[in-house]
Chain A
Amino acid sequence: MESSRKQRWLQLQSAFEPGFKQMLLVSILLHLLLPVLYYAPFFPKRVFEKPPVYRVNLVNKIVKNPQAGRPEAAPVKKKPAVKPKVKPKPKPKVKPKPAVKPKPIPPKPKPVPVKPKPKPKTVKPEPVPTPAPTKKKPQPAPKPAVSKAQEDNLALRLKKMRAAQEKKASEQARKDRIAALKADALAESSKVRSPIADAPVGMADGTGNEAGVSAFAFVREFIQQQWSFSKYQAAGNPEAEMQLFYNAAGTLLHYKFVKKSGNSAFDESLTRAIVKSKQLPQELPEAMPFEIVFNLKDMLAKP
Chain B
Amino acid sequence: MKHFKIYVLNIIFACLLCSSAVAARIEISAPGEQTIPLAMTRLLPMGVGAARSAVATEFQQVLQGDLELSGLFDLTDPASFLSDADKLGLRRNEIDFYQWRMLGAEALFKGGYSVTAGKLTMELRLFDVITQRLLTGRNYRGKVTDVRKIAHTFADQVLKSLTGEEGPFSTKIAYISKRTGHKELYLMDVDGYKPMRMTSHRSIVLNPDFSPTRKELIFTSYNKGNPDLYRKEIYTGRESRLSLKPGLNIGGRYSPDGREIALTLSKDKNAEIYLLGTDGTIHRRLTNHYSIDVDPTWSPKGNKIAFVSDRRGNPNIFIVDIHTLEVTRLTFEGKYNATPAWSPKGDRIAYSRMDNGVFNVFTIREDGTDERQLTFGKGSKEHPRWSPDGRFLIYSNDLNGGAKSIWIMRADGTGGRKISAPGGNDSHPAWSHRW
Which residue numbers of A lie inside 8 Å of B, CB to CB? 215-216, 219-220, 223-233, 235, 243, 263-265, 268-269, 271-273, 275-276, 287-299, 303
Contact = CB atoms under 8 A, between A and B. Distances in A.
Residue among A224, A233, A292, A303 with the most chain B CB within 10 A? Answer: A233
B34 A228 contact: yes
Contacts of B163: 232-233, 235, 265
B34 A295 contact: no
B162 A233 contact: yes
Contacts of A299: 29-31, 34
Residue among B21, B22, B34 with the most chain A CB within 10 A? Answer: B34
B70 A275 contact: no
B26 A264 contact: no
Contacts of A232: 70-72, 163, 391, 410
A216 B29 contact: no
Interface of B: 21-37, 70-73, 106, 128, 130-131, 162-165, 372, 391, 410, 412
Query: Considering the complex of A and B, which 8 residue pairs feature the smallest CB-CB distances, nearest first?
Result: A298-B30, A228-B33, A289-B23, A225-B32, A297-B29, A299-B30, A229-B31, A272-B130
Given A230-B72, A233-B72, A224 B162 contact: no
Contacts of B73: 230
A291 B24 contact: yes
Interface residues of B, dominant DSSP:
loop
A194 B163 CA distance: 46
Contact of B130 (A219, A275, A295): A275
B28 A272 contact: no
B32 A216 contact: no
A230 B130 contact: no
B144 to A, nearest CB: 33
A95 to B, nearest CB: 51
Nearest to B345: A235
A276 B36 CA distance: 14
Contacts of B372: 303
A228 B30 contact: no
B32 A224 contact: yes
B345 to A, nearest CB: 9
Contacts of B71: 230, 232
A228 B32 contact: yes
Contacts of A268: 128, 131
9 contacts: A215-B24, A220-B28, A224-B32, A229-B33, A230-B34, A230-B73, A272-B130, A293-B26, A298-B29
A290 B33 CA distance: 22
Given A223-B28, A228-B31, A264-B164, A271 B36 contact: no
Contact of A295 (B23, B27, B72, B106): B27
Contacts of B25: 290-293
A227 B33 contact: yes
Given A216-B24, A227-B31, A228-B31, A272 B72 contact: no
A23 to B, nearest CB: 56
Contacts of B35: 228, 230
Contacts of A263: 164
Contacts of A215: 24
B34 A229 contact: yes
B185 to A, nearest CB: 31
Contact of A265 (B21, B27, B162): B162
Given A229-B36, A230-B36, 7 more contacts: A228-B37, A228-B106, A230-B34, A233-B72, A291-B26, A298-B29, A299-B34
